[in-house]
Structure 1
Amino acid sequence: MTTETLRTETLPAPYPASLTARLDPGLSRWLWLVKWLLALPHFVVLAVLWVGYVVVSVVAFFAILVTGRYPRPLFDFAVGVLRWDWRVAYYAYAALGTDRYPPFTLADAPDYPARWDVTYPEQLSRGLVLVKWWLLAIPHFLVLGVAGGIRALIGLLTFFAGISLLFTGHYPGGIWDLVVGLNRWALRVSAYISLLTDEYPPFRLDQGGAEPVPQS
C-alpha cells in the first residue's frame, strides 16, 4: 500500500447531508429589518409542514423498524421540509445571506443561493432507529447547547451582520462563514435524529458555503 493510498484513505468522506450557500453581493442595508415580516407567509406554511414532518417521522420510525427502509415519498417530504426551512432561515433569521425571496416549494431550487439535500439510503439499521434520535445524539446536543444554544448563537451573529449591513453595507465574511458552518452542523444533526441517515454526524465545524471535499 503506497503512501498516497494511505493518505487518501484517511480523508473523511462527504457527509450524506449536504448544505451549501452563497453570499449574495450588494445586500440591502435595511431590508433585513423587515424580513421577519416579509417571511410571515413562509412561517405559516412551515408551521403546517412541521406538523406533517412529525407525523412522517413517526411513520418512518416504524417502517424502518420493520423493513429497514425509509419509504422514499416520506423521505423526500422530510428532506423537503428541512430544505424549505433552511432557505427561509438563510433569507431571514439565521443568516441574512440573500435578499432573494425563497420559493414556495419542497423541491430543490438549483438557482437559489441556499441549498440542502440528503442522499437517500437504500438500507437503514433497524436497531439504530431505536436509539440514534435521542441517546446517540446526546454528545451533539451537549455541544450545540453551549452558549445558550446554537440557535441563539446563530441569531446573535446574524444580528451583528445586520448591524454591519445597516451602517457599512458590508456583510463580514468571517461571520458569514461561521454562521453557515453552525447551520450546517445543526442540520447534519437534524438529518441524523430525523432518521434520514445512519452515518453519525462529524464533530467538525465546516465553515463556508461549500461542503468540504476530500483532497488527493
Structure 2
Amino acid sequence: PSIEENEKIKLDFPEINGGKSLNRYAPLYKWFLAIPLYIVGVVYAIYLLILTIIAWFNILVTGSYPEASADGVVKVISYWNRVYGYAILLITDEYPSFSL
C-alpha cells in the first residue's frame, strides 16, 4: 500500500477537544442506542454480500468491477464506520443516520 496522499480517500475525525466536548456519561447508554444501528447494519451486510456476488460474476464476464456495486460497497462501509465511530470508538455523540 502507498502512503502518499490520495484525493479520493479522506478520513476526518471530529474535533473533540481532548474529549471535553463529549458527554461523559454517554458510553453508559450508547451501547443500547446502537442496537437498531446493528440490526440495520446486518441488513446492509447482506446487501453487501449480494452486491459482491453480482460484482464477481460481472468481473468474470466483462473483466471490470461495476461502478454501481463499488458505490454500494463504499456506502455500506461508510455506514459501518459511522456506527463504529459512535458506539465503539466513542469519537462523536451525534447519532448516525440509518441511510446509506
**Do these two structures clear the TM 0.5 threshold for a shared fold by scoring above it?**
yes
Query: Among 24, 35, 44, which residue is 1:29 paired with?
Result: 24
User: Is 2:66 aligned against 1:71?
Assistant: yes
Higher helix content, 1 or 2: 2
Equivalents in 1 of 2:42, 2:8: separation in Å? 26
- TM-score, normalised to structure 1, is 0.40
Percent identity, aligned pairs only? Answer: 36
User: Is 2:96 aligned against 1:102?
Assistant: yes
Where do 5+ consecutive residues of structure 1 fail to align? Answer: 1-10, 107-216
TM-aligned CA deviation for residue 85 of structure 1: 0.3
TM-aligned CA deviation for residue 70 of structure 1: 2.1
Q: Map residues 85-124 of structure 1 onto 2, 5 A cutoff.
A: 85-93=80-88, 95-106=89-100
Q: 1:71-95 CA distances to partner (integer Å, 9 max, x unpaired)?
A: 22222111110000000100111x1
Change (3 A) 1:69 1:17: farther
Higher Cα Rg: structure 1 or 2?
1
Equivalents in 2 of 1:23, 1:32: separation in Å? 18
Letter in 1 for 2:52: S
Query: Among 34, 38, 57, which residue is 1:43 paired with?
Result: 38
Where do 5+ consecutive residues of structure 2 fail to align? Answer: none
- TM-score, normalised to structure 2, is 0.82
